[in-house]
Amino acid sequence: MFPFLNIGRQQVPTYGLLLCVAIVLGVRMAVARAERYGLPRSFAYTAASLAVLVALLGAKLTDWLIHLRTFSPSRLIAGGGTFLGGFLLAFLATAVCAHRAKVSLWSLADSFAPSLALGVSIVRVGCLGASCDYGKPTALPWAVVFKNQAAAQLSGVPLNVPLHPSQIYESAFGLLILGVLLWWERKPQLPGMMILAFVSLYSLGRFLLEFLRGDVGRGFWGPLSTSQWLALLTLLLFCTCYLRVARQQTR
């Protein structure tokens, strides 16, 4: 595809540009929604900004740890890191922030949940542009074919080979999760259910979509990719934490 866009005289990474768009829209959406949950707008903005910063650093750190022996500077341009690793660290930072401010972590997380789904949808389009996170070869009529030499140098994507558009699959899945969350929100919910729904849907969907990925360099532990293990870990941690909180609330 097009790993770089020419804007005026500047050459801008497609992934980086769409990542910035996702951050701006996601933070604005999260702050607006936090007010509905009775959270101060200034605090929501601070918490969202902190979550974004930690998520970006955490995603890069996780990616670096996974590819410790084979890490190259090109990965900094071709991709943004490991999403689930960044998400877990960002949630931890948000928990500390909520505890210090003496506000409900679960209400804050619920207000952020749709922004996460929106971000996934936008950023995966950036992945398509950067030609990273590509799919396995396929004969399906909606296969994508990459022909840009710069893309191959950055991400290692095979050129002139029909591939599963795994980036589009996940982008569409993010929009689906967003729709489900906004619809489900209309019904009475216990605190924490929105973020739990996002984690559950995304983790399960990501686990399955990984089987269509063709970028073998993303890292594997045994028969599963690192993202599949992280998806299972994330789902387990959130379900365990939420069950403990739910039990405490019902006592």
- CA-nearest of 10, 150, 162 to 78 is 150
Distance (Å, whole) CA 148 – CA 131: 9
pLDDT score for 26: 94
The answer to whether 111 touches 36, Cβ cutoff 8 Å, is yes
Pairing outcome for strands 4-7 and 220-221: unpaired
The 10 Å Cβ neighbour count of residue 100 is: 8
pLDDT score for 94: 93
pLDDT score for 77: 46
pLDDT score for 250: 58
- CA-nearest of 190, 182, 134 to 157 is 134
pLDDT < 50 regions, the chain: 71, 74-78
Check residue 222 and give left, alpha or beta (phi > 0: left; psi -120 to 50: alpha): left
CA 95 vs. chain centroid, Å, equals 18
pLDDT score for 86: 92
Q: Distances from the Cα of 196 to the Cαs of 36, 169, 223, 224, 249, in angstroms? A: 19, 22, 27, 23, 16
- 231-245, pLDDT tens digit by residue? 999 999 988 887 876
Distance (Å, whole) CA 171 – CA 154: 21
- 203-212, pLDDT tens digit by residue? 999 999 999 9
pLDDT score for 235: 94
- CA-nearest of 88, 112, 93, 91 to 39 is 112
pLDDT score for 248: 63
